[in-house]
Structures are given as structure tokens and as C-alpha cells.
Amino acid sequence: MTTIPALKLTVPDVLPLARAIYARSCVGCCLHIVLDDDNVADSHVQFCVEWAVKQGHADCEQLARQLLTMSKTQRLKLAKLT
């Protein structure tokens, strides 16, 4: 059985969702430790996924899951653009 690898997203792919989150929360809501504080390790992003689920923030959960497909460099770049 062949598995299909996860789609690797780019910064332009996720930037609109990140900006939408910032439009409703000036600190990046559930993703503030990644987007505002530059904590871009997988463990930090995974924490954001779990926190977004607990808070019921579907948009934050979606972005956090998308960030897990991206490199740390891409995550830092996104943080600079939001």
C-alpha cells in the first residue's frame, strides 16, 4: 500500500488565514506563541493545535495543522508577515 505524503504548504498559501486570525485577535489568538513569540518547534505548534481544539477555534486549529506541514523557516517567515 502506498501512502500519499502530506501536502507541503507555502507561506502565501496560509497567509490569508493567519491575517484573518490577526484581524479578530491582535496577538494571534491560539497561535500567539508561534506567530508572536517565534516559538516555531513542532512541539510548540502541536501545543497550539491542542489549545485551539480546547478553545473551539476552528480557524486557529486549521492554521496550526497547516503549520505542521511547513518548515521552521517558513513558520518564522509567516510570523514576520502577520
CA distance 47 to 4: 25
Decide: pTM greater than 0.95.
no
* Mean pLDDT (whole number) for 57-72: 96
pLDDT at 8: 79
- Average pLDDT across the chain, whole number: 92
Lookup result for grid cell 507561506: 11
- Residues 22-56: tens digit of each pLDDT: 999 888 999 999 999 999 999 999 999 999 999 99
pLDDT at residue 73 is higher than 90 = yes
